[in-house]
Structure 1
Amino acid sequence: MTPAASTPLVYRRNLAALFDPTSIAIVGASNDPGKYGNWLAVRALRDSARRQAYLINKSRPTILGHPAAHSLAALKGQVDLAVIAVPAAGFDEAVDDAITAEVKAIVAITAGLGETGAEGLARQDALVARLRRAGIPMLGPNCLGVLDNTTGLDATVNDFRPGSVAIISQSGNVAIDLAEHLCEQGLGVSRFASLGNCADLDVADLIDSCVDHEGTSAIAVYCEGFKDGRKFAAAAARAARAGKPLVLLSVGRGAASTRGAASHTGSLVTSHVVLEAVCEATGAELVSSPLEMANLLQALVRTRPPAGSRVAVLADGGGHASLASDSLEEAGLQVEEFSHDLSTQIAGELPPTAGISNPIDIAGGGEQDISCFARVVKRLVASCESDSILMTGFFGGYSDYDPSVLDGEVQAGRDIGSLVAGSGASFVAQTMFSDSAPVVALRESGIAVYRNVEHASWAMSRLVRRHQFAPQPLPVLPAPTAAPLVVTGYGRARRALAAAGIPFSPASEVTTLHELKAAAANLHYPLVLKALGDEHKSDSGGVILNIPDLNGLLTAWHDVQARLAPPSCSIEEMADTDGAVELIIGVRRDPTFGPIVLVGVGGVYTELLKDTRCALGPITTEQAKELLLSLRGAALLTGFRGKPAVAIDKAAQLVATLSRFAAEHPEIDEIECNPIAVTPTRALALDARIILHQTA
Structure 2
Amino acid sequence: MFAPERVAVVGATEREGSVGRAVTANLLADFDGEVVPVNPNRESVLGEPCVDSVADSGADLAVVAVPPAAAVETVAAAGEAGIRNLVVLTAGFGETGGEGVDRERRLTELAAEYDLTVVGPNSLGVASTPVGLNATFGPSMPDPGSISFMSQSGAFVTAVIDWAFEQDIGFRHVVSLGNKAALDETDLVAGWGDDDGTDVIVGYLESVDDGERFVETAREVTADTPVVVIKSGRTDAGAGAAASHTGAIAGNDRAYEVGLREAGVLRADSAGELFDAARALSGQPLPDEPGVAVVTNAGGPGVMATDAVGDSEALELADLTDETVEALDDALPAEANRFNPVDVIGDAGVERFRDALEITLADDTVGSVVVLSAPTATLSFDELAEAIADVQADAELPVAACLMGGERVESPAEILSAAGIPTYFDPSRAVGSLDTLARYREIREREASEPRRFDVDRERVHEVLSRVRDRQDNRLGVESMAILDAYGVPTPDGEIVDGPERAQAVAAEIDGPVVMKIVSPDILHKSDIGGVAVGVADEEVADTYERLVTRARNYQPGAAILGVQVQASVDVDAGVETIVGINRDPQFGPLVVFGLGGIFVETLNDTAAELAPVDERSAREMTAEIEAAPLLRGARGREPTDLDAVVETIQRLAQLADEFPAIVELDVNPLIAQPDGAVAIDLAVTVDPDALPETFDPDAFPEATAAGDATGDETADPAGDGPDGETGGDPDGESTADESPVEATDGGDA
TM-score, L = length of structure 1:
0.90
Q: Give the alignment of 1:219-618 within 5 angstroms.
A: 219-241=201-223, 243-332=224-313, 333-335=315-317, 338-366=320-348, 369-394=349-374, 397-398=375-376, 401=377, 406=380, 409-433=381-405, 435-469=409-443, 470-472=446-448, 483=462, 485-486=465-466, 487=468, 488-533=475-520, 534-547=523-536, 549-565=537-553, 567=561, 568-618=563-613
Shift in Å, 1:97 = 2.2
Contact 2:72/2:106 (8 A) holds in 1: no
User: Equivalent residue of 1:365, what SS?
Assistant: coil
CA distance in 1, matches of 2:530, 2:279: 56
Question: In the alignment, what sits opposite 1:211?
Answer: 193
**Which residue of the other structure, out of 149, 171, 179, is the alignment partner of 1:167?**
149
1:79 and 1:103 in contact (8 A); partners too: yes
Shift of residue 119 of structure 1?
A: 3.7
Counterpart-to-counterpart distance in 2, 1:271 and 1:225: 11
Name the residue aligned to 1:131: 111
Check 1:227–1:613 CA distance in 2 against 1; reply closer, same or farther (3 A cut).
same
Mapped partners of 1:334, 1:622: distance in 2: 24
CA contact (8 A) 1:351 1:365 kept: no
* Percent identity for Structure 1 against Structure 2: 29
Instruction: Find the residue that maps to 2:131 and give its secondary structure.
Output: coil
Matched, 1:639 2:634: yes
CA distance in 2, matches of 1:124, 1:442: 47
Give distance in 1, aligned partners of 2:259 and 2:333: 51
Q: Aligned pair in 2 of structure 1 residues 604, 23: CA closer, same or farther (>3 Å)?
A: same
C-alpha contact 2:235 2:252 (8 A) present in aligned 1: no
Alignment RMSD, CA only?
A: 2.6
Q: Secondary structure at the match of 2:71?
A: helix
Q: Deviations over 1:58-100 (max 9, x none)?
A: 322222233212212234xx21101101011312221222123
Amino acid of the residue matched to residue 546 of structure 1?
A: G
Over 3 Å counting, the alpha-carbon distance change for 1:174 and 1:461 in structure 2 is same
Shift of 1:388: 2.5
The secondary structure found in structure 1 opposite 2:243 is coil
Supply the distance in 2 between the matched residues of 1:674 and 1:93 (Cα, whole angstroms): 56
Residues 100-120 of structure 1: CA distance to partner in whole angstroms, max 9, x if unpaired?
A: 322121111111112222543
Q: What does the per-residue CA deviation read over 1:234-279, in whole Å, with 9 as the maximum and x for residues that have no partner? A: 22112212x2110121123224252322211111112221122112
Deviations 1:485-536 (A, max 9, x none): 2225223321122112111111211233233234324333321111233223
Distance 1:552 1:456 in 2: 69
| Aligned partner of 2:617 among 616, 622, 635 | 622
Change (3 A) 1:211 1:147: same
Q: How does 1:90-101 map to 2 (within 5 A)?
A: 90-101=70-81
CA contact (8 A) 1:354 1:365 kept: no
Relative to structure 1, is the Cα distance of residues 338 and 135 closer, same or farther in structure 2, using a 3 angstrom cutoff? closer
Task: Give the residue type in structure 1 aligned to 2:253.
Answer: H
Change (3 A) 1:118 1:664: farther
One-letter identity of the residue aligned with 1:206? L
Letter in 1 for 2:656: F
Q: Secondary structure at the match of 1:672?
A: strand
Cα 1:285–1:26, aligned 2, differ >3 Å: closer, same or farther? same
Secondary structure of residue in 2 paired with 1:675: strand
Q: CA deviation at 1:689?
A: 0.9
Distance 2:356 2:105 in 1: 63
Deviating more after overlay: 572-581 vs 114-123:
114-123
Deviations 1:575-624 (A, max 9, x none): 23443111111111111211111111111231222111111111123321
CA contact (8 A) 1:245 1:284 kept: yes
Tell me how far apart the structure 2 counterparts of residues 352 and 417 of structure 1 sit (CA, whole Å).
27
CA contact (8 A) 1:79 1:104 kept: no
Change (3 A) 1:476 1:28: farther
Task: Please state whether the residue corresponding to 2:370 is helix, strand or coil.
Answer: strand
Name the CA distance, whole Å, in 1 between partners of 2:639 and 2:220.
Answer: 42
Are the aligned partners of 2:592 and 2:611 in contact in 1 as well (CA < 8 Å)? yes
One-letter amino acid matched to 1:680 = P
Distance 1:669 1:180 in 2: 45
In the alignment, what sits opposite 1:6?
none
SS at match of 2:535: strand
Contact (CA 8 Å) 1:325, 1:335: kept in 2 or not? yes
Query: Do the aligned partners of 2:499 and 2:545 also contact (CA within 8 Å) in 1?
Result: no
Is the CA contact (8 Å cut-off) linking 2:458 and 2:486 kept in structure 1? no
Q: Distance in 1 between matches of 2:540 and 2:83?
A: 81
Q: 1:20 to 1:532 in 2, by over 3 A?
A: same
Tell me, what secondary structure is at the counterpart of 1:436? Answer: helix
Pair 1:414–1:605, CA change in 2 (3 A) = same
Alignment check: 8 A CA contact 2:105 2:181 kept: yes
Q: Is residue 36 from structure 1 mapped to residue 36 from structure 2 by the alignment?
A: no
For 2:322 and 2:488, the matched residues in 1 are separated by 59
2:390 partner letter:
S
Shift of 1:692: 1.1
Say if 1:81 and 1:106, in contact at 8 Å, map to a contact too: yes
Distance 2:305 2:114 in 1: 58
The normalised TM-score by structure 2 is 0.83
Distance 1:466 1:57, change over 3 A: same
Report the counterpart of residue 12 of structure 1 in structure 2.
none
The DSSP-based 3-state class of the residue aligned with 2:574 is coil
- Which of 12, 33, 43 does residue 51 from structure 1 map onto? 33
Paired with 2:401 and 2:112, the residues of 1 have a C-alpha distance of 49
Residue 428 (structure 1) shift: 1.7
Contact 2:479 2:496 in 1 (8 A): no
Deviations 1:427-471 (A, max 9, x none): 222221374322322222222222211222333334333333314
Give the residue type in structure 2 aligned to 1:418: D
Provide the C-alpha distance between the structure 2 equivalents of 1:225 and 1:682, rounded to a whole number of angstroms.
41
Shift of the alpha carbon at 1:20? 0.7
Distance 1:375 1:609, change over 3 A: same
Contact 1:477/1:618 (8 A) holds in 2: no
Within the alignment, does 1:200 sit opposite 2:200 as a pair? no
What is the Cα deviation at residue 473 of structure 1? 5.8
Question: Partner of 2:600: helix, strand, or coil?
Answer: helix
1:339 positional shift: 4.7
Contact 1:624 1:655 in 2 (8 A): yes
SS of the counterpart of 2:52? coil
Aligned length, in residue pairs: 664
Contact kept, 8 Å, 1:281 with 1:474, in 2: the verdict is: no
How far the C-alpha of 1:179 sits from its partner, in A, is: 4.0
